[in-house]
Amino acid sequence: MERRDLYDENRQLLNKTIEKGEKIPTGCFILVVMAFIENQEGKYLVQKRSELKGGEWSFTGGHPKHGESSLDGVKTEVLEELGIISENPVLFKSIRGEDAFCDMYAIKQDIYLSSIVKQDEEVSDVMFCTKEEIDKLFEEGKFKKGHYMMFQEYLKYKKENNI
């Protein structure tokens, strides 16, 4: 079974772990990572979650495993879910939620859809979308809300940094 590290409210690593799916103890936090992969055309790689995971469109993300750093965790998630080695993920924002710290990474990388090897338990489809296409998927209720909200943070980061 997959283990996750626990952190305190100041993001200090505790000497505690939980199993994947186990309830997060009160006062403890886990780590979540999110990858926004953008190609040179300014399109974003999105993935349709498997029906087991809700079937919505989303971005690549997950939870680092016990002992993994945030950066290693985002690289692992991209590799596991898409079969892609991510090039130079850049941490652009970290937020603290109710029971998790979420690190958001920007990845500028050209990827051929034909080179993607989907992890079937997690991902049923992949495609590149413009911002407007992602907006439309969200408006139609087909895009995971939390991921869409984090995407807005990515767009804000890009605007503030003229990227």
- Confidence at residue 63, expressed as pLDDT on a 0 to 100 scale: 94
Q: Has residue 53 got a pLDDT over 90?
A: no
Assess whether pLDDT exceeds 90 at residue 1: no
Q: What is the pLDDT of residues 94-131, one digit of tens each?
A: 999 999 999 999 999 999 999 999 998 899 999 999 99
Task: Please tell me the predicted confidence (pLDDT) of residue 23.
Answer: 95
Provide the CB-side half-sphere exposure for 65 (13 A, CA).
7
CA distance 152 to 104: 11
pTM over 0.85, yes/no: yes
Model pLDDT, residue 114:
93
Q: Distance (Å, rounded) from C-alpha 29 to C-alpha 31? A: 7
* Mean pLDDT score of the chain: 95
Q: Using the predicted structure, report yes or no on whether residue 149 has a pLDDT greater than 90.
A: yes
**Cβ(124)–Cβ(55) under 8 Å?**
yes
Strands (E), 3-151: 3-7, 13-19, 30-38, 44-49, 57-58, 60-62, 90-96, 100-108, 123-129
Residue 155's pLDDT band (cuts 50, 70, 90): very high
pLDDT digits (tens, 9 = 90+) for 6-42: 999 999 999 999 999 899 999 999 999 999 999 999 9
